């Protein structure tokens, strides 16, 4: 296993046409591979950004029939790259799974992950989101050991749950991944600090491709795809426009950061005492 490789994030502005989104993802993957990337990540909801439940169910399929997954598997094989499809909307009974796929350079799917935490919030701007009405949450965290690195998979809103990333790091993840479709409002407030915090806490790289800009369904996403090193330094950051960012991943920095601040080894069990103090 080489300790160094180039990672890339493909930032997108996916709309309502899965075919157009698929073509954009393939083009971004090819551009990244041409620049030397051996691992390429696309954002959450690569193939379709759509708020309407009816429109979603009109086009989603199971993973065996999904044309975007098939196209990215083929492109991974042609370019010889590892590809993480940030997520696709995949039919799962009467709901939809928000599912990530890790694809090897032979085009085989080596791991998949269903987003654990669902975004059910009311924002001060008046935006209201109820992912649980359309999506089904996953129940299993995923660490994928590959010849390139050991990857810990997550998606978007997961970033607000630090226990997940600690568990991934304790299971050996060297590169944590957080592809996202972050709203502009929450992204401006929290996106970078959350990404850097998760990297620092785990002593691992954080690689997160994002959606950015105004989408056809009316939502506005923050963009700013990020690659962060285990010391919390930002190695590459996008703006809001679609494009590709790249950075070298030096896995020796993981061991270095974890040796300098061995927080993963210092955790201790504890209880919480709740005290009601009344004067």
Largest CA distance in the chain: 72
**53 catalytically annotated:** no
Interhelix angle 184-202/162-170, nearest 10 degrees? 30
Active-site residue (options: 44, 50, 174, 201): 44
Q: With 0-12 CB in 10 A as exposed, 13-18 as middle and 19+ as buried, what is 16?
A: middle
Say how far apart CA 157 and CA 208 lie, in whole Å. 12
Say how far apart CA 201 and CA 253 lie, in whole Å. 14
Say how far apart CA 128 and CA 154 lie, in whole Å. 23
DSSP per-residue letters across 180-226: B--BHHHHHHHHHHHHHHHHHHHTSEEEE-BBEEE-TTS-EEE---E
Residue 68 DSSP SS3: helix
Token couple for 277: 């103090």
Nearest-Å Rg of the Cα atoms of the chain is: 18
Cα–Cα distance list, 150 to 39, 45, 175, 226 (Å): 12, 23, 6, 19
The tally of CA atoms less than 13 A away on the side-chain side of residue 104 is 11
**181 catalytically annotated:** no
Active-site residue (options: 9, 156, 181, 201): 156
**115 catalytically annotated:** yes
Active-site residue (options: 115, 131, 174, 181): 115
Q: Would you please indicate which residues are annotated as catalytic (active-site) residues?
A: 44, 115, 156
């Amino acid at each position: 296993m080489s300790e160094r490789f180039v990672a890339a994030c493909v930032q997108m502005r996916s709309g309502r046409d899965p075919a157009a989104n698929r073509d954009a993802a393939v083009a971004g993957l090819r551009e990244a591979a041409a620049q030397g990337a051996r691992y390429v990540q696309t954002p959450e909801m690569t193939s379709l950004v759509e708020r309407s439940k009816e429109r979603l169910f009109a086009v989603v399929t199971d993973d065996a029939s999904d044309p975007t997954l098939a196209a990215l598997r083929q492109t991974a094989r042609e370019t010889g790259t590892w590809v993480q499809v940030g997520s696709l909307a995949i039919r799962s009974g009467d709901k939809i799974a928000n599912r990530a796929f890790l694809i090897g350079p032979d085009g085989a799917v080596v791991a998949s992950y269903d987003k654990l935490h669902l975004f059910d919030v009311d924002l001060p701007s008046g935006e209201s989101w109820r992912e649980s009405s359309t999506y089904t949450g996953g129940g299993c965290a995923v660490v994928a050991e590959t010849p390139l690195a050991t990857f810990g998979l997550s998606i978007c809103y997961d970033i607000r749950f630090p226990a997940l990333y600690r568990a991934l790091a304790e299971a050996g993840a060297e590169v944590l991944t957080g592809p996202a479709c972050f709203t502009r409002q929450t992204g401006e407030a929290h996106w970078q600090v959350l990404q850097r915090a998760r990297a620092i806490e785990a002593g691992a790289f954080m690689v997160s491709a994002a959606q950015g800009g105004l989408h056809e369904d009316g939502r506005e996403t923050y963009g700013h795809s990020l690659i962060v090193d285990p010391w919390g330094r930002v190695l590459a950051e996008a703006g809001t426009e679609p494009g590709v960012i790249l950075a070298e991943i030096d896995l020796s920095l993981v061991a270095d950061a974890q040796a300098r601040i061995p927080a993963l080894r210092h955790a201790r069990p504890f209880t919480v005492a709740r005290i009601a103090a009344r004067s």
